[in-house]
Amino acid sequence: MTCPHRILTLFAVVALSVVPGLPPSAHAQKPLKMGAIVPVSGPAAAFGLGVQRGMEFAAEDIGVFTVAGEKYKLEVVTYDTVYDPGKTVAAMNRAVYNDGVKYGVIIGAGVHPPILPIIRETGFLDLAFAAAGRQITNGENPTVFRIMASSDQLYQTHLQPIIERLNVKRVATLGPNDELGKNDAKVVRVQVEAMKAKGVQLVAEEYYERGAKDFGPALLRLIAHKPDFIETDGSPTGSIALIAKQARELGFTGYFLNSTAVLEAKAISDIAGKAGDNIIALRIWAKPPTQLYAQLADRHQKKYGEAAPGTMWEAYAATKWVADVIQKTGTFDTKKVADALAQSTYPDHPFGPASWGGEKTYGAKRQIILPIPAAILKDGKWEPFDVRTGKFD
């Protein structure tokens, strides 16, 4: 095969391979595609798995619905971002421009900056699962909603009450050295400074490589400052369990706080054993807050044989909420749906009645407001850790 033919075959293969996906099979109702643009491999895979399964459960429960006289069924399409900004752009290009996806859940403050321009240009309705990142929910991004409690919200409402209740005086922070970790540390610093009068001070701040397994070096320096409270920002399950275990090994006896994690009591106690006690986790329910919450948990256990990752419930709720609003407004136009969504409330969210807020902090009503639980780990089980929570608007 001489050289020129080789070039032509190359060109033909490229053209062929980008042919858009197969046309949707023409069964009774047309599919409404919703994207799960989440990490399904790599260190943050557990976050993505919960969202994917939560959305699929929601699609099953919603079943067939009508919009402007047409019958539709929700179809969840997963695009693996591997928590890498470059791959997230590729996923968005595929979803938005090829598969015609207009709605989706996207995980990770760190991967948002390169796709926000695409979201603004195409009006993609992004249900963001991103605790940090003030630049996500604001006036410039009308179609971006944060469907989980943000770091600002968590810490503004919970940090000071928890510190007071435990009578903590020396706070230290240890988080992943990425967008999430650095942002949470900033928010914590502000809250702790506000309690200077009560003698509370921030004594140490350390970071670790996301996905690292050995926290000895970071913990050594931290524990040297004799903290009685270690805030571990957005450390995932594997990390917080190892941090607890290794910190106890180094003689730390105080409390841990974790804000945005996907924590299962069993997973932590398997890894850390008794060392896992006294971990306080925000966004984790010790007792199911609603009937729906418990049903979803059992359904996941039956179907997958393992405990549900913590992101499942919020993804389930957001998907159903958006589907309801689309049905009510009778249009797929994301601008209209976004405006309607912002005004609407969602009483049967698995966490409890939910609405939108955040104008004061973010300048746009795009931050979900819902009951924020706190729980403390005792002998491998979560126990409620109710504190009088501060206000967030």
Count Cβ neighbours within 10 Å for each residue of 305-314 and write b for 16 or more, e otherwise: eeebbbbbbb
Min dist. Cβ of residue 89 to another protein (A):
5
Min dist. Cβ of residue 145 to another protein (A):
20
Select 113 or 123, whichever has its Cβ closest to another protein: 113
CA distance 187 to 152: 6
CA distance 391 to 228: 26
Select 145 or 208, whichever has its Cβ closest to another protein: 208
Select 17 or 25, whichever has its Cβ closest to another protein: 17
Q: Which two tokens stand for residue 72?
A: 């539709």
Min dist. Cβ of residue 393 to another protein (A):
26
DSSP 321-364: HHHHHHHHHT---HHHHHHHHHH--BTT-TTS-BEEE-HHHHSS
Min dist. Cβ of residue 18 to another protein (A):
5
Min dist. Cβ of residue 251 to another protein (A):
6
| Number of Cβ atoms within 10 Å of the Cβ of 243 | 26
Select 85 or 289, whichever has its Cβ closest to another protein: 85
Select 237 or 258, whichever has its Cβ closest to another protein: 237
DSSP 217-239: HHHHHHHTT--SEEE-TT--HHH
Select 11 or 360, whichever has its Cβ closest to another protein: 11
Min dist. Cβ of residue 353 to another protein (A):
30
CA distance 335 to 70: 20
| Number of Cβ atoms within 10 Å of the Cβ of 114 | 12
